[in-house]
Structure 1
């Protein structure tokens, strides 16, 4: 059984609104542009396809897309969107579930930190192996994953402020550096809610450094082709808060 949390209907219904900044053209368009180029005509498999933030634009650009998603309510949100029913989605664990013909995908995509939803190293290693099993020779696996800013922790501390957006959304990250685990605590005030009302949510993650990801990729028979600090191909360096990694099959 996967260690990933399964998002319920209420969370899925709020997902797009709560993540509105990730749907903004200046965020989404560079990601889609880079992925379209890497796909070389497809087909594409997206792990943790969610509500289709990436998959629907890829399909609009002419690519065949299949997806794997653990949460049935998230899939229902995708299927309610224009074109959503045209994308084949299988409900299952991205570390083990297979879709399409083995070894046929030109590109496997896993974006916006979703690899860290797998809370054990074994499951993350299995996810890389599963991606490799989907890829044709020369196919690519692309992962977008955050670089945990543990330097924000005070000496001996475990909790750090991650974001504060005008007081409407505050995130506190609780780290355990011994296990590379993190619990994010989200506090939101919805504009239409009564004054003083706060909506609380939490999520569990396992973070991994780029060097560890490269070893997972090597175990799966994949070789690092490129690493960027953002979707617009900014260099990855010590100041990067995220890594866009591209590995290629033999």
Structure 2
């Protein structure tokens, strides 16, 4: 995953998307520091740091972090290796609690149990100063696309690539399967488990962590969130005092 992560042609790697994301995060961070959960190869952390926001990351993949370290400015991003549901950072780069914590690109769903997702919110909240914000970017479950009697939704098709999601609507467990045919005609398949989660469920997790909803948008351009929005960017705020 680390070797190929930055080679993705997905919209999340497009400069315009990254710029819009960083615009919002920099504004929310203000003159404070930011904590990125699952910092990975620095897709967001590095441009955010270039905006003058001190950034610290948490990640369990040494390989992903090594990729970030090899990029310009990567050595300046502090990283704590570990599970972002439990790993703690004593202080921000500026010596104060963080004014912003964020988790982007559907990564909340890589936590495959409700308990782990709740723990993530509590850990993020514990790092925030009063008035600080926790931001999550995540897709809305596509259950309306599932015909009666089926549990699979394809989301990518092509001459050499296919991808689909298998849903369990009882447990909210799901699996993404990616199939690729190489130039020599051989097939390669990989699967990624996740747990889909609803906006209202995330709001309850935030409440359990002492956070309240401040904003919910359909994307980083802050367009209104509606019943037809395929994703949302949600901002929860820690109470003052």
SS of structure 1 residue aligned to 2:116: helix
Aligned residue in 2 for 1:184: 176
Aligned-pair Cα RMSD in Å: 1.5
Aligned residue in 2 for 1:123: 116
Cα deviations by residue, 1:89-140 (Å, 9 ceiling, x for unpaired): 1110111101142870000010000011110000100100000000001000
Listed as ranges, the matches of 1:14-33 within 5 Å are 14-18=4-8, 20-33=10-23
Aligned residue in 2 for 1:161: 154
- CA distance in structure 1 between the partners assigned to 2:187 and 2:39 by the alignment: 29
Aligned residue in 1 for 2:193: 204
Aligned residue in 2 for 1:78: 68
**TM value normalised by structure 1:** 0.90
Aligned residue in 1 for 2:211: 222
Aligned residue in 1 for 2:79: 89
- CA distance in structure 1 between the partners assigned to 2:14 and 2:225 by the alignment: 23
Aligned residue in 2 for 1:133: 126
Residues 19 and 105 (structure 1 numbering): CA distance in 2 closer, same or farther, change over 3 Å? Answer: farther
- CA distance in structure 1 between the partners assigned to 2:10 and 2:149 by the alignment: 35
SS of structure 1 residue aligned to 2:56: strand
Aligned residue in 1 for 2:223: 234
Cα deviations by residue, 1:139-197 (Å, 9 ceiling, x for unpaired): 00000011111111111211111223x444321100001011110001234xxx42534
Gaps of 5+ in 2: none
Aligned residue in 2 for 1:5: none
1:47 counterpart (14, 37, 43): 37
- CA distance in structure 2 between the partners assigned to 1:163 and 1:95 by the alignment: 31
Task: Figure out how many residues of one structure are paired with residues of the other and give that number.
Answer: 236
- CA distance in structure 1 between the partners assigned to 2:145 and 2:10 by the alignment: 26
Aligned residue in 1 for 2:144: 151
> How far has the Cα of 1:199 moved from its partner?
2.9
Gaps of 5+ in 1: 1-10
